[in-house]
Amino acid sequence: MKYLAKEISETNFSKYHVDVEYNRNEGGKLKTIKNDKEIVIPITCDIIVHSRGENTKQDNLIAIEMKKSTNKKTEKDKDRERLIALTKDSFDNLWSYDGKTLPKHVCRYLLGVYYEINLKARLVKIEYYMKGEPQKNYIVRF
């Protein structure tokens, strides 16, 4: 989190915040998403880059979910589903552009990142999500 905060501090996104396990929106409301079954789910991502409600036109930039390779597949899939929902442009094709109102459910993260580390094999799997869809994935050796 600290490394990412330092990196963005020297960019056009310097007014954004990097938070760990953060799940609050403007006014202290819990951030929520709707899954594909229209169930409202409170969310807490491992790391997020957002404006904390200060920039209503683009509050959310990056959502990062991290897992160990030894985690259960169901847990990994939940993180992937969350990233798909978070990077959608809207829910029910509704979005307020009045510059004052945040949506009822969190969405419009520009980028979702799924990061899975396998310590034994010394591999990291990275997957990118944008606009509610998986985009690119690759494996890095360390």
pLDDT 10s digits, 116-140:
999 999 999 999 999 999 999 999 9
Residues 69-104 pLDDT 10s: 999 999 999 899 889 988 988 655 544 445 555 556
Q: How many domains does the chain have?
A: 1
Residues 5-54 pLDDT 10s: 999 999 999 999 999 987 665 566 667 777 667 777 777 889 999 888 78
Residue for token pair 């509704």? 94
Residue 18, exposed/middle/buried by CB under 10 A (0-12, 13-18, 19+)?
Answer: buried
pLDDT for 101: 58
pTM: 0.82
Backbone φ/ψ region at 113: left (φ over 0), alpha (ψ -120 to 50), beta: beta
Instruction: Give the single-character DSSP code of 21.
Output: S
Pairing relationship of beta strands 17-20 and 47-50 according to DSSP bridges = antiparallel
Question: Considering only CA atoms, which of 139, 49, 31 is closest in space to residue 85?
Answer: 31
Cβ-defined contacts of 3-12 (< 8 Å, 24+): 4/47, 4/49, 8/49
With cut-offs at 50, 70 and 90, classify the pLDDT of residue 107: confident
By residue range, what is the domain housing residue 103? 2-141
Q: What is the CATH number of the domain that holds 73?
A: 3.90.1570
